[in-house]
Amino acid sequence: MLVKWFGRLASERLFLWLLGVAVSLPLFLSRAHDVPFLGLPLVTSGDEPHYLAMLHSLVNDHDLDVSNNYDRARRGSVEIGAGRVGAAIDHQVAWYDAQGRWWGWESVFAYARDAQGKPVPPPALPEHKPGAPTEFDDKPQYSMHPPGLPLLLAPLVYPARGSVWVEHLAIVWSTLATFACALLLRELLRGLSNDRTLVNATTLLAILGSPLWHYGRMLFCEPWLALCAVGSLTFATRKNAFFVAGLFLALGVQMKPPFALLAGPLFIDRLLARDPKRAATFALPVVFSVGLVLYENQHFYGGPLRAAQPWESGNLLLGMLGSSFSLKHGLIPYCPAVLVALAGFPALFRSHRREAWLIVGMAGTYCLLMWLWHCWWGGYCYGPRLVAPIIPLLFVGALKVLESLPQLSTLRRRLAVTLCSLSVLISAMGAIVHLAFWEKHPLIEPLAQLAKHL
């Protein structure tokens, strides 16, 4: 019965229609909490307004000094979002002083406040804090975020410069990146199975049953990083195009420098295959991108190893447990279908050992670093943001579970279907209702609100 129902997903038209409608729907329903629910997409909160300020700086001023962009937004422009015009928003920028010490904007500047402790209304601009160093007053304000995402989006939104359409289009491109990620994931899965129904079902589950559905309408790096991770593995294993695979990872490094870790397993794969030519062509763009990061650090902060956000180690065990089980940012509570995916890896190792090792190497090393980061939850955001880019890789294992469904016991089959269905429900609520579930679980928060009124 279940196999017959799945059989409809073999249709190319149905697959593309389901995927396209699902990932596009949040564009018109998910808005900031203080503006109408329906309409074109706007940035909401967290890091989004700051990525938008960088993007406006590039297309309007042709630089990455965002100080004037924040100030113009305070005076009424849309450069941090149409829903935040005039907002007293902190500048997410940083400097290093003459002694090499890191300073964040909030330790140097602040908005004047009234008797009630609220920021004075615009057009008042931030003021220098008493006792704070003055050496940064006339220095450029470069973002604490890597420039990769705004550099990628700038030519794509440039015709709309100076208007709110920069904001709309930037988010639409995140949706297109998610759609492209799904297509590349499907191509990867086709190399592991000839069953189109199961390949399409696994692809839909990886996108619509995970936080990627939510991030597909966000101005964050995560949808693009997921595209880069899947694209690199797909072109390496399906097309043997290792230079293209390197280009995908090089782009990811510009958005998040630790993404270079994903290059290790693919590079080792070529060395073990005694294929130094492809190993070199793969490494070339990645090494260039790492070098560019070092140059950017030198230009922006005065030293190649001076990152905008210096590394701060946390507790690896706490990071692993929190990133896995936290009700605010845990992968399993927000994506229970990942348990189904992980259960399929033993079968994946038996049938496609090379691909299984590559996925474990790429996803495992990246997760370890994110767990070790002191802010493993990724700041104010939805769900498991930092590990979201490698979620599609993990769902390759789900293909093997779906293949074995008819042979599973009734209990195991029902458990797998329940976990997958629950994932899709959670992700649908997170994608469509959107900001209401930042820092809150989509299934728990409605019950908590209901309990307050009983």
Spell out a b/e string for 12-22, using b for 16 or more CB atoms within 10 Å of the CB, else e.
Answer: eeebeebbeeb
pLDDT tens-digit series, residues 13-31: 999 999 999 999 999 875 5
d(CA 102, CA 307) in angstroms, rounded, equals 9
Q: Which residue has the tokens 């990525």?
A: 51
d(CA 54, CA 190) in angstroms, rounded, equals 38
pLDDT of residue 35: 52
Average pLDDT over every residue of 249-255: 98
Average pLDDT over every residue of 31-47: 73
- Note the pTM of the prediction, 2 decimals: 0.95
Among candidate residues 199, 272, 270, 258, the one with its CA nearest the CA of residue 229: 258
In a domain, 448, yes or no: no
The answer to whether the CB of 101 falls within 8 A of the CB of 301 is no
3-class SS letters over 40-78 = CCCCCCCCHHHHHHHHHHHHHHCCCECHHHHHHHHCCCC
pLDDT of residue 174: 97
pLDDT tens-digit series, residues 85-134: 899 999 999 999 999 999 999 999 999 998 888 888 898 899 989 988 99
Better-scored residue on pLDDT, 435 or 69:
69
Tell whether 202 and 314 lie within a shared domain: yes
Q: Which helix (H) or strand (E) holds 128?
A: strand 127-128
In a domain, 446, yes or no: no
Q: Is the dihedral of CA 108, 111, 113, 117 positive or negative?
A: negative
pLDDT tens-digit series, residues 258-302: 999 999 999 999 999 999 999 999 999 999 999 999 999 999 999
Cis bond upstream, residue 258 (ω within 30): no
pLDDT of residue 76: 92
Average pLDDT over every residue of 19-48: 80
In a domain, 33, yes or no: no
Domain, as residue range, for 145 = 48-155
Tell whether 291 and 174 lie within a shared domain: yes
> How confident is the prediction for the chain on average, in pLDDT?
93
Domain boundary pick from 125, 155, 185: 155
pLDDT of residue 305: 94
Tell whether 171 and 144 lie within a shared domain: no
In a domain, 281, yes or no: yes
- Work out how many domains the chain is built from and give that number: 2
Determine the straight-line distance between the first and last CA of the chain, rounded to whole angstroms.
42
Name the token pair of 433: 């209702």
Judge whether residue 37 has pLDDT over 90: no
d(CA 148, CA 218) in angstroms, rounded, equals 16
Tell whether 75 and 151 lie within a shared domain: yes
Average pLDDT over every residue of 300-322: 94
- How many C-alpha atoms does 147 have within 13 Å on its Cβ side? 23
pLDDT of residue 235: 98
Domain boundary pick from 124, 155, 186: 155
User: 94 in helix, strand or coil?
Assistant: strand
In a domain, 118, yes or no: yes
- DSSP codes joined into one string, 129-190: PTTS-STTTTS--BBSS-SHHHHHHHHHHGGGTTSTHHHHHHHHHHHHHHHHHHHHHHHHHH
pLDDT tens-digit series, residues 402-411: 999 989 999 9
Percent of the chain having pLDDT more than 90? 81
For 9, 233, 416, the CA distances from 403, given in Å and listed in that order, are: 14, 22, 12
pLDDT of residue 117: 85
Tell whether 131 and 248 lie within a shared domain: no
Tell whether 240 and 122 lie within a shared domain: no
pLDDT tens-digit series, residues 205-248: 999 999 999 999 999 999 999 999 999 999 999 999 999 999 99
d(CA 174, CA 216) in angstroms, rounded, equals 5
In a domain, 180, yes or no: yes
In a domain, 447, yes or no: no
Average pLDDT over every residue of 355-366: 97
Tell whether 265 and 325 lie within a shared domain: yes
Domain boundary pick from 155, 185, 217: 155
Average pLDDT over every residue of 169-181: 97
